[in-house]
Amino acid sequence: MTENSTAVSVRDLSKSYGGVTALQGVTFDIHRGETFALLGPNGAGKSTTIEILEGYRDRSSGHAEVLGVDPQKGGIAWKARLGIVLQSTGEPGAVTVREQLAHFAGFYANPRPVDEVIAAVGLEEKAGTLIRKLSGGQRRRVDVALGIIGRPELLFLDEPTTGFDPEARRQFWELIRSLKAEGTSILLTTHYLDEAAQLGDRAGIIADGRLIDIGRIDEIGGPDARVPVVRWRESGVVREQRTTAPGLLVAELARDGEPDGLEVIRPSLEDVYLQLIADYEHPESELSAPRDAHRATHPGNPDSRSDSAEEEVPA
């Protein structure tokens, strides 16, 4: 039985499409009110996971509960509690943005006001435009609007900002933050790791259908993956040192004046993610050990180093 504090519970989930194993033994929970980012390379199994949880695909084995219901048995009342933004949408009919949203609003007991949703996705000027006359990014905003019109308890966002311009992405992030503030639980997949870092509370990283890591966004990968690098220039030569105490090193470097080109580089979620995937794909290779922030920002550099060694780096 799922606790009330759990929006999604997945245990040992597996899925095969004929001979293709898309998911193998995936286990995770999403807590109520949490934004959980499911990350992984193309073909890793993210959409398959989402589609099983939406009740759109049957699993091959394992257990899943979404808002306390097995998605294979979820009826209309359960579906009305979900918001879904699929990776790809069907051909738009000859209806305007406002007509489409008003039509979908009619399916829900307590929908958001149509104009409020249009404003939330930044389509006020296009409200009366036929959807098929919108740009790709604008249509994607309609998809997002349709996903939130029913005031969902749980929102599935499968690569929601593909095709968005940078301003629209920022606007979308604000929208997601406001939904989160209202208590909406969110499952997000995205290839934009900055988006996952901005929005996610926790992340699961999936590769070849297996969950290879899970944890808080600021902890995933473990402490070794997050050791900062201090970089500076000395007599025109770029030097860097990986250290858990960057402040002390900077103070030491600054004793004789302002160091040239000083930077403290903290590995981003993208750096950590790329290292986890490399470790998974090449467990025995030089590239995978030790976890190294420098290498994450310069993946071509074949050097290995100890945590405290100072390095001369090709400029």
Ligand X SMILES: Nc1ncnc2c1ncn2[C@@H]1O[C@H](COP(=O)(O)OP(=O)(O)OP(=O)(O)O)[C@@H](O)[C@H]1O
Residue in 24, 36, 37, 45 binding ligand X, rule: CB under 6 A? 45
User: Does 59 participate in binding ligand X (rule CB under 6 A)?
Assistant: no
For residue 290, whether the previous peptide bond is cis, meaning omega lies within 30 degrees of 0, is: yes
Residue in 17, 113, 237, 285 binding ligand X, rule: CB under 6 A? 17
Task: Enumerate helices (H) and strands (E) in the chain, giving the number of each.
Answer: 10, 13
Q: What is the DSSP letter of 268?
A: P
Degrees (nearest 5) of the Cα angle 168, 171, 174?
A: 155
Which residue in this structure is represented by tokens 């918001």? 83
CB 298 to ligand X: min, Å:
26
Residue in 6, 24, 47, 100 binding ligand X, rule: CB under 6 A? 47
User: Does 25 participate in binding ligand X (rule CB under 6 A)?
Assistant: no
User: Does 22 participate in binding ligand X (rule CB under 6 A)?
Assistant: yes
Closest CA to 15 of 51, 55, 68, 59: 59
Strand order in the sheet with 260-265: 260-265, 229-234, 237-242, 310-313
What is the C-alpha separation between 120 and 266, in angstroms, rounded? 33
The interface region with ligand X, picked from 28-36, 41-49, 168-176, 306-314 by CB under 6 A, is: 41-49
SS3 267: coil
User: Does 43 participate in binding ligand X (rule CB under 6 A)?
Assistant: yes
Closer CB to ligand X, residue 60 or residue 301? Answer: 60
For residue 21, the cross-strand partners are 16
User: Does 40 participate in binding ligand X (rule CB under 6 A)?
Assistant: yes
What end-to-end distance do the CA atoms of the chain give, in Å? 58
CB 175 to ligand X: min, Å:
22
Binding mask 70-89 for ligand X (x = CB under 6 A): -----------------x--
How many positions of this chain bind ligand X (CB under 6 A)? Answer: 12
Closer CB to ligand X, residue 45 or residue 111? Answer: 45
The two structure tokens encoding residue 205: 């990283």
Closer CB to ligand X, residue 42 or residue 235? Answer: 42
Closer CB to ligand X, residue 114 or residue 220? Answer: 220
The interface region with ligand X, picked from 46-54, 62-70, 260-268, 285-293 by CB under 6 A, is: 46-54
Closest CA to 147 of 181, 120, 183: 120
Residues that bind ligand X (CB under 6 A): 17, 20, 22, 40, 42-48, 87
